[in-house]
Structure 1
Amino acid sequence: MDPSEYRPAAGEIPTDPGVYKFRDADRRVIYVGKAKNLRARLNSYFTNPAGLHPRTFTMVHTGASVEWTVVNNEVEALQLEWTWINEFNPRFNVMFRDDKSYPYLALTLKDEFPRAFVTRGKRKPGVKYFGPFAQVWAIRETLDLLLKAFPVRTCSTGVFRRAEQSGRPCLLGYIDKCAAPCVGWISPEDHKALARNVADFMSGNTGRFISARKEAMAAAAGELDYERAAKLRDEIAALEKALSKSTVVLSVSADVDIFAMVTEELEASVQVFHVRGGRIRGQRGWIIERMQELDAPELTADYLRQAYSGVDPEAVPREVLVDTLPEDVETVTEWLSGIRGSRVTIRIPQRGEKKAALETVAKNAQQALDLHKTRRASDLTTRSAALNEIQQALQLPEPPLRIECIDNSHTGGRNVVGSLVVFEDGLPKKRDYRHFAVNGDAARDDTSAMYDVVSRRFSRYLESLAGDEPDERFGYRPSLLVVDGALPQVSAAVQALQDLGITDISVVGLAKRLEEVWVPWDEFPVILPRNSEGLFMLQRIRDEAHRFAITYHRKKRGASMRTSVLDGIEGLGAAKRTAVLKHFGSVKRMREASPEQLAEVKGIGPALAARIHAALGGSGASDTVGEDLEPGEGLPDDRADRAEHR
C-alpha cells in the first residue's frame, strides 16, 4: 500500500514519548517501535519513503495503518515496546531465539514445604530460579551434592501427599537426602531454612556454610562425637565439590553479568555468563534474526531487554559488562535499576581480568553462531526450502541443485585471483573448488577479472562436451551461477557466457552491503526477506567463495613479497629462484651468504652467485627495500585484508 494513503496528519501525532504499531491490511501488527518524540519518529517513515532502507521501505509499504500510545517517559516506552513485541511477535522486529533449551534449578520458596527441582519450563511467579546451566547433567549432579548438606524435598506434590497419608517417607528420606517434612521429621520452619540455605549457596554466598561446618566438625571431634564429625566432613566435601564445578573467572568475589555479541549480515549471536562470587553460575545464548538494519548499540539494547524482562530483582547484578554500550544507555540503566531496586552500572571493561572474561564470552558467542549455521545448513528440510525459495525468487525453471559461485580478490589491483566454489544440494563439494590467477589486461578491474574467470571456467566446460568423456572438474553445467557483486559483475559474467554461446545458465549477483540479489534482466535488485532460508544459503555460498579467494590471494601475495627482490636478476629464473629460496629459507639469509655459499646451490654458478650477491646489496637490508608497495602489501594479514576488494 502507498504510505501516503494512511499517513496521519502531522498535527495529530503528539510530541510525547510513546510506542507505535504498524498494522497490515488484515490488522496484524507487523512492527512495534518506541520513540522519545512520536511525531518526529513517525514522520521519518513518511516524509521520503523512497529514501528508506530497503527493509524499512518494505515494512512501510506492507503496512496499512499506524497507531500509537503515549507514555510518561522513555523507561515506560522501553517496557511497553518489549511487552508488545512479545505479545504480537511482529514480523519486521528483531527475532530472538535461544540457541538451545537451558535447564534451571528452581526453588518454590513460597510453598509451605519448598521443593527443589530441575526445569526447562516457563518461569512461574513465586519460584526462584538459578541458571541457566549449559548441561542438564551438571545441575542434576550439583543438586545431588547439595542435598547431602541441605536435604530439602525434591519430590512432586503427588509423591509428597502419598507419603504424608501413609506416614512413611520415600527412599530419599531413608538415605538422608531429604529431611522428610512429609512425615514430620523436620518442622516447616526448619525446612524453609534449608531451602533458603540452598538459595544462598547458589547465589554465591558459599563461604559461611563451609567455614561453619568446619568449626562444627572440629568441635564434634573434640567432644569425641565422631559420628557427627564424619557427617559434617561428608557435607563439607559435597559442598566443596559442588563449588569446584563452577569455573572461576574473576579472582575477586564479583557479581556481574558479562555479555558479548558477534554479528553477521543476517544473524547475530549473543552469549552471557552469569558470574556470582567470581564464578560462572549460569550461561545462556540467543541467535538473533536481523529483520531490520539495526546497529550494534540498538541490538545491545534489545538483547538486554530480552535477558532481564520478567526476572526476579535479585537476578539483576550491580554491574553489567558489554562489548558495546546500548543505545540510550541512560534509559536502559534506569530501567535495570528499577528492576533491581538499586543502582546498576552498564560499562565496557577496558583492561584486566574482566576484559579477559569478556573475550572468553565472545569466543563462546562465535562458536554458538558457527554451530547454528552448521546445523542449519546440514538440515535436509531447511536446504530443500532454501532451494525452492531461490527458484521462486529468481524465476528459475527448477530448483538449483548445483550452484557455483565466483569471487575475485586483489590488493590494490595486484595479485588478482579468482575462486570457484561448488554447492550441490545445498552442501559444499570441495573437490570441485578451483582458483584462478588473473594476469595481463584481465586484471585491470573487477569486471574484466570476472569476465576472464567466467570465460576460462566455461571454456573448459565446452571442451569437456566436445570430448569423449566429461571432465570431472569442469564438465558439469551449474543450475545457477552466483557472482560476488552487483549489476556490473553480473553483466560481465553474462557477456562472457554469451561470447561462448552459452545461454542456458542463470546468473545472479549478491552484493555485500545490503545483501541484494541482482539479476541481469532488471535494473533493480531482488530483495529476499531477511529471514529467508534462500538468502541465507546464497550468503553462505558467497562467503565460502570469498574465503577461498582470500586464502589463495594470501598465498600468492606472500610468495610475491618473498621473491620480489629477486626479480630482474639476469639468469635467475623461476626454478633457480625457488631452489635458492628453499636452500636458504629467506632472502635475509641469502643476503648474509657469501658468493661461495650461494654457489653451493644446485644450478647456481659462480657468475650467477656474484650477480645475486651484488643485487642483494649485502646483509641487514629489508626484504622489500627498493620496492614500491601497493596498499595493503607488507602489512599484517588483518590490515592487508582490509585493503582487499577495494
Structure 2
Amino acid sequence: MADPSSYRPAPGSIPVDPGVYRFRDKDGRVIYVGKAKSLRSRLSSYFQDIAALHPRTATMVSTGASVEWTVVRNEVEALQLEYAWIKEFDPRFNVKYRDDKSYPYLAVTMGEEFPRAQVMRGAKRKGTRYFGPYAHAWAIRETLDQLLRVFPMRTCSSGVFKRAGQVGRPCLLGYIDKCSAPCVGRVDADEHREIAEEFCAFMEGDTARFVRRLETQMKQASADLDFETAARRRDDLQALRKALERSAVVLGDATDADVFGISDDDLEAAVQVFHVRGGRVRGQRGWVVDKQAEGDLGQAEVVERLLLQVYGDESPSGVPREVLVPVLPTEPDTVAAWLAERRGSRVDLRVPQRGDKKTLMETVTRNASQSLARHKVARAGDLTARSQALQDLQEALGLDEAPLRIECYDVSHVQGTNVVASMVVFEDGLPRKGEYRKFIVRGTPGEDGELRLDDTAAMDEVLTRRFRRYLAERDGEGQPQDVTADDQALPTGDDDAPSGPIDERTGRPRRFAYPPQLVVVDGGKPQVDAAARALQGLGIDDVAVVGLAKRLEEVWLPDDDFPVILPRTSEGLYLLQRVRDEAHRFAITFHRQRRSKAMTTSVLDEIPGLGPARRRALLKRYGSVKKLRAASAEDIAQVPGIGPGLAATIAAAVGQDGDQAPAVNLTTGEVLDQE
C-alpha cells in the first residue's frame, strides 16, 4: 500500500471552492468519489495522522496513489457531479445500496412509436415510464387487467404486434376491447399515444379527473337512452374504482410524497420507502446498506446517499412534492435544492413531527425493522453460509475442529458502577437463547486490597466463575463454593442433587457440562489476555480464545502481537460480528435494568404499606421528601389512599422532627439541596 504522504497535494494548491474529488489507485482506477463545500478543508482531513482516521478511510487513503478534483460553482452542482461519477466509476470504497429483493415495476415504453405496458425488473431504461415498485408481479397484472377496460393500450410483445399487422387480425385483447388494436390500424400512433399518456396520468395519481369523466359520460348516455353505452361506462367506472381499492388511502387526496424509514445496527441499515401518490400508497421498495463501507455512517449520511440513489435516475415526474425522512441529511438545503432541480419545482424535504404523516413514517420504519431482521435471519439461516463461516474460523484461527459451540462474553458498566456481564451461546452458527447467562460482577481484590471492577478484571472473574462451574459439573464434584443465590448467571439449584456431566433426573447434559470450542470476548488484546489467564489458571487448555475489536474488526489471539485480519466478505467474520453484537445487546439490556432499578430507589421505598400507586399520589401532592417532611400527619392523611395510620408511619419515616432522612426527589431518588 502507498504512503498517503507520497501523493499528498501541497496545501496551497488545493482550492477552497466547492467541488468533487476522486482518489485513484496505482493502476489508475477510481476507488472513491466525494464532494466538499471546501476542497482544501476536506482533502486536508484525509492526510492527517493515519491512526486518527476511521479504519475504512485509512484503508482507502493507503490504497490510493493519487487524488484529483474538479471545481464547480455551487454545492448543488457538486452533488450532481458526485452522483454522475459514482454511477460511472462504481468506486469500491463508496457505499452501495443493495435491494433487499428484486422489485417488479409497471412500465410504459413511451419511447416506442406504439407505447406498451408491461412488467419490468432490473435497470431502468431511457424513454420508459415506471410505476411502483410493487411487491408482486401478479399485483401489477391484476391492476393492468382492470385498467385496460378504460385505457385500451398495447401490452403485446414486438413479435406478436408485428405478426398481427401482417395477417391483419388483432389478438384476443383486441376482440374483447382491452386493446385499441393499433397493429391493424383501428387507431393511429397519435391516438394510441394519447391513450398511453392518459394511462400514465392515472397511475401518477390524477384519478379524480377520469372518474368524473366516466360518471358524466354514463349519465349522459343514460339521459340519451343509450343504455348499452351507459352500461359500458358503468363497468369502466367499476374497473377504475376496483383498481383504486388496491391502493390503501393513507393521506389526503392531494398528497404526493415518498416516506422513508430506517432501521439500523452497528454494521448495517435497512431502508424502506412508501411511494404515496394522490394520498394512496402506490408502491414500496427496500434496500440494505453496509454502514461501514465509507466509514461508520450515521443515519444522516445514509439518508443523503439514499436520496441520491433513489432520485438520481428518476424523471421529473418521479420526484414527489414531499420527501419525508426520519432524519435530515447532512446538508439538507443542498439536497433539497438538488431535488427541486430534478423535479423542476420546489420539493419539501423534512422530518414529520405529528399527525398522519408521522404515523405513516412509523409504519414504514416498522417495515424497515422487519426487513433488517429478515436479512439477518436469511443469512444466518443459510446452512451453506453457516458451514462456510465455521470452516473459515477453523482455518483462520488454526483450530483442530470447527467451533460448533461458540460462547461470547461482554462487560457493561458506566464508570465502574453496576458492572454486569453477559454470556451468549451459538451452536452450529445459530443462537441458543435458552443457554444465555447474566453475571453480576462482584469485583476482584487488587494488590492494595481494593476491589477491581475494570473490564479486564471483570472478564477474568466471569470466565473463572463460568469454567469453575464447568469443571465441577464435569468431574461430579458438586456446586462450586462461590455460587451464590443472587448470581443470575449460575443458579444454585439443589445442593443435594447428584452431580456429574449428565443430570440423572432428566437424562440430559447439565448446562455447564459442555465446554465451547471457541470463546469470544468483546475487546482487543487486553481482554483476550485476561480471558486466557482465567482459563490457564483453571488448567483448561482445550478451549480457544479470541477477541473481536469493534473499531477495526480485528481478531486478536492470546500472546500474538498482531491481529488476524479476516476479509470483509468472510462468512466467519460475519458470524463473529453477530455473536459479538448479540453479547453486547444482552449485556447492555441487563445493565440498563439494574441501573434503572438503582436510580428509582428512595427513602419512601422502605416504608411498609406504601406501594407505587400511593407513592405517585404523594408525588402529585408534594413533589419531594423535603416538602413531604414539612407536612403534618393530618395533612398526609388527606392524600387519596392514605389513612391516618399510614400517614403517621410516613411522617415518622421521613423524619419530621429533625434531619434524620435527606430530602429525595420522588421521581429520580436524587438527594436534594437541604438549604
Instruction: Classify the TM-score, shorter chain.
Output: 0.7 to 0.9
Amino acid at match of 2:286: G
Partner residue, 1:451: 460
Change (3 A) 1:425 1:338: same
Structure 2 counterpart of 1:542, which letter? R
Is the Cα–Cα contact under 8 Å of residues 18 and 36 in structure 2 kept in the other structure? yes
Pairing 1:506-521 to 2, within 5 Å after superposition: 506-512=544-550, 515=553, 517-521=555-559
Aligned counterparts, 1:220-369, within 5 A: 220-290=221-291, 291=293, 292-369=295-372
In structure 2, what is the equivalent of residue 194 of structure 1? Answer: 195
Partner deviation per Cα, 1:77-132 (whole Å, 9 max, x = no partner): 32222223233322221121111111111112233322111111321111111111
Name 2:529's counterpart in structure 1: 491
Q: 1:566 to 1:538 in 2, by over 3 A?
A: farther
C-alpha separation between the residues in 2 aligned to 1:540 and 1:205?
Answer: 47
8 A contact 1:483–1:510 mirrored in 2: yes
Moved more, 181-190 or 231-240: 181-190
- Within 5 Å, give how 1:528-567 maps onto structure 2: 532-549=570-587
1:505 maps onto 2:537 in alignment: no
Cα 1:486–1:615 change in 2 (3 A) is farther
Matched position secondary structure for 1:64: strand
CA separation of 1:430/1:222 partners in 2, compared to 1, >3 Å: closer, same or farther?
Answer: same
1:414 Cα deviation from its structure 2 partner: 6.5
What amino acid is aligned across from residue 293 of structure 1 in structure 2?
D
Partner of 1:478: 516
What's the counterpart of residue 475 of structure 2? 466
Return the alpha-carbon distance in structure 2 between the equivalents of residues 11 and 413 of structure 1: 48
Q: Matches of 1:495 and 1:615 in 2, distance apart? A: 57
Partners of 2:501 and 2:41 in 1: CA distance? 68
1:388 positional shift? 4.4
Classify the secondary structure of the residue corresponding to 2:545: strand
Which amino acid letter does the alignment assign opposite residue 290 of structure 2?
A: E
* SS of structure 1 residue aligned to 2:94: coil
Distance (whole Å) between structure 2 residues aligned to residue 334 and residue 166 of structure 1: 54
Q: Do the aligned partners of 1:591 and 1:617 also contact (CA within 8 Å) in 2?
A: no
1:628/1:429 Cα in 2 relative to 1: closer, same or farther (>3 Å)? Answer: farther
C-alpha displacement of 1:141: 1.3
- Any residues of structure 2 matched to 1:414-453 within 5 Å, and which? 416-439=419-442, 445=453, 446-453=455-462
517-526 vs 197-206, which moves further: 517-526
Contact kept in structure 2, 1:3 and 1:60, CA below 8 Å? yes
Displacement of 1:316: 1.0
**How many residue pairs were aligned?**
599
* Cross-structure match for 1:617: 649
The 5 A counterparts of 1:107-118 are: 107-118=108-119
Cα-to-partner distance string for 1:382-428 (whole Å, 9 max, x where unaligned): 33443344455555555433211123456786665443221122111
Q: Does 1:383 align with 2:421?
A: no
Q: Cα deviations across residues 458-491 of structure 1 (Å, max 9, x unaligned)?
A: 1232234434646442233322211234444333
Preserved CA contact (<8 Å) 1:289 1:531: no
Q: Give me the CA root mean square deviation.
A: 3.6
Separation of aligned partners in 1, 2:522 and 2:469: 21
Quick check: 1:102 aligned with 2:134?
no
Question: Do the aligned partners of 2:95 and 2:289 also contact (CA within 8 Å) in 1?
Answer: yes
247-256 or 532-541, which deviates more: 532-541
Q: Give ranges in structure 2 of 5+ residues lacking alignment.
A: 446-450, 477-499, 503-508, 618-644, 655-659, 671-675
Contact 2:604 2:615 in 1 (8 A): no
Residue 148 of structure 1: SS of its match in structure 2?
coil
| Residues 313 and 339 in structure 1, CA contact (< 8 A), matched pair in contact too | yes
| 1:7-26 deviation digits (Å, cap 9, x = unpaired) | 33334444443332223334
Deviations along 1:317-362, one digit per CA (max 9) or x if unpaired, are 2222212211222322222222222222322222222222222222
Q: CA deviation digits over 1:421-475, x for unaligned, max 9? A: 2112211123433334444758862444332321122123223443464644223
Contact 2:545 2:558 survives alignment (8 Å)? yes
Q: CA deviation at 1:496?
A: 1.4
1:246 match: secondary structure: coil
User: Residue 149 of structure 1: SS of its match in structure 2?
Assistant: coil
State the partner residue of 1:402: 405
Q: Which string of whole-angstrom CA distances, capped at 9 and with x for unpartnered residues, describes residues 518-555 of structure 1?
A: 44335676665655543332222123223444565677
Counterpart check, 1:33 vs 2:34? yes
Question: Which one-letter code corresponds to 1:350 in the other structure?
Answer: Q
Alignment check: 8 A CA contact 1:404 1:481 kept: yes
Rounded Cα–Cα distance in structure 2 between residues aligned with 1:115 and 1:469: 71
Identical counterparts, % of pairs: 59
What does residue 156 of structure 2 align with? 155
Give the SS at the match of 2:214.
helix
1:257–1:179 CA distance, 2 compared to 1 (3 A)? same
Cα 1:219/1:472, change in 2 over 3 Å: same
Contact 2:99 / 2:287 at 8 angstroms: preserved in 1? yes
Task: Determine helix, strand or coil for the equivalent of 1:617.
Answer: helix
1:22 — aligned with what?
23
Give, in whole Å, the separation in 1 of the partners of 2:415 and 2:200: 61
- Paired with 1:444 and 1:591, the residues of 2 have a C-alpha distance of 38
Asked if 1 retains the 8 angstrom alpha-carbon contact of 2:548 and 2:554, the reply is: yes
Q: 169-178 or 547-556: which moved more?
A: 547-556
Hey, what does 1:82 align to over in structure 2? 83
What's the counterpart of residue 128 of structure 1?
129
Q: 1:472 to 1:98 in 2, by over 3 A?
A: same
Equivalent position SS for 1:269: strand
Counterpart CA distance in 2 for 1:513 and 1:337 is 39
SS, match of residue 135 in structure 2: coil
CA 1:634/1:510 → structure 2, altered by over 3 Å: closer, same or farther? farther
Bigger mean CA deviation after superposition, 69-78 or 306-315: 69-78
Of Structure 1 and Structure 2, the greater helix share is in 1
2:374 is the counterpart of 1:374: no
Spell out, residue by residue over 1:582-605, the C-alpha distance to the aligned partner (whole angstroms, 9 max, x if none): xx996768999xxxxxxxxxxxxx
SS in structure 2 opposite 1:507? strand
Scaled by the length of structure 2, what TM-score is found? 0.79
Q: Specify whether residues 568 and 354 from structure 1 end up closer, same or farther in structure 2 by C-alpha distance, changes over 3 A only.
A: closer
Q: Pick which of 266-275 and 43-52 moved more.
A: 43-52
